[in-house]
Amino acid sequence: MTSTGSTLAALRWYVDMGVDEAVGEVAPDWLAPRPAAAKIPAVPSASPAAPPPAVFAVPTAPARTRAMSAPAAIPAAQDAHRLAQAARDLAELQDALRAFDGCQLKQTATNLVFGDGNPKAKVMLVGEAPGADEDRQGKPFVGVSGQLLDRMLAWIGLDRSAFYITNQVYWRPPGNRKPTDAEVASCQPFVMRHIELVLPEVLVLVGGAATRTLLGRADGVMKLRGHWFDYASAGLPRPIPTMVILHPAFLLRTPSFKRETWRDLLAIEQRLKTLH
């Protein structure tokens, strides 16, 4: 191979690995010893790690019912479940994620992307996965899709002081690929605990991926959007009314679907009005 050919091959390899932009002057030494992980609260050892609880997604209209399958009861998933359940508040959950090494995405990401907005808000949104901007800033939905989402939510009078937002995985997949089922499953106990700790009045799933993970439904997002579902997990005192909306990245590519999203947002606005 010529030197140009091998340079191109190396660059291609970098891009495939997700190294598609320069974020600093100095290359980080990933092999250097890591700082000690944050302390997480001890979990009573007497209780053996139980598999994550089943989550039930019951559509309120039209009536269709299906129990969601829990993440596979493999040791990493049990560990994730145990760590997540031990968190008593969002700070502890974030520390637990910092100490958790069961998700491959952490190896290649720059930052943990935990959550943003007001954790006391009535509305919580769950998206798919952080992208490059989110990875750099350590905050969800701060890139172009996030800016569109912010504008869409502003239509119904919500800004980040009036909603809380996170993703179904906490680290950026290299090259913005879709997270694998294993990566999603490893984060799922934390996402479920995240929802339990925020305890919103209304949950909004942004795009099909979060819908599959949290509602356990294989139907496409086009079929699910615009309907209310009940999301429940063992640690929730009551099911949470849940709406599925189209992902802003899809709307950027297909603006004609903004009309449907407008309707879905109005339904969310109506629902919020009934809470006052």
Could you say which residues in the range 166-195 bind ligand URA, by CB under 6 A? Answer: 167
Residue from 94, 145, 188, 242 touching ligand URA (CB under 6 A): that is 145
Task: Give the CA angle between residues 94, 98, 103 to the nearest 5°.
Answer: 110
Structure tokens at 248: 């802003």
18 lies in the binding site for ligand URA (CB under 6 A): no
Contact between 141 and ligand URA per CB under 6 A? yes
The answer to the question of residue 115 lying near ligand URA (CB under 6 A) is: no
Residue 92 binding ligand URA, by CB under 6 A: no
Phi, psi at residue 128, to the nearest 5°?
-90, -70
In whole angstroms, the minimum distance from the beta carbon of 141 to ligand URA comes to 4
Give the residue, chosen from 146, 174, 179, 189, that forms a contact with ligand URA under the rule CB under 6 A. Answer: 146
Q: Considering the complex, what minimum distance in angstroms separates the CB of residue 86 from ligand URA?
A: 26
Backbone angles phi, psi at 177, to 5 degrees: -70, 170
**Residue closer to ligand URA, measured from CB, 117 or 143:** 143
CB of 216 to ligand URA, least distance (A): 19
**Is residue 134 a contact point for ligand URA (CB under 6 A)?**
yes
| Number of residue whose CB is nearest ligand URA | 127
Residue with tokens 């992902």: 247
Three-class HEC string of 25-91: CCCCCCCCCCCCCCCCCCCCCCCCCCCCCCEEEEEEECCCCEEECCCCCCHHHHHHHHHHHHCCCHH
Residue 16 CA, distance from chain mean position: 23
Beta strands in 101-210 (DSSP E): 116-117, 123-127, 163-167, 202-206
Segment near ligand URA (CB under 6 A); pick from 5-13, 64-72, 139-147, 264-272: 139-147
128 scored as a contact of ligand URA (CB under 6 A): yes
| Dist CA 258 CA 248 (whole Å) | 9
| Site residues, ligand URA (CB under 6 A) | 127-131, 134, 140-141, 143, 145-146, 167, 249
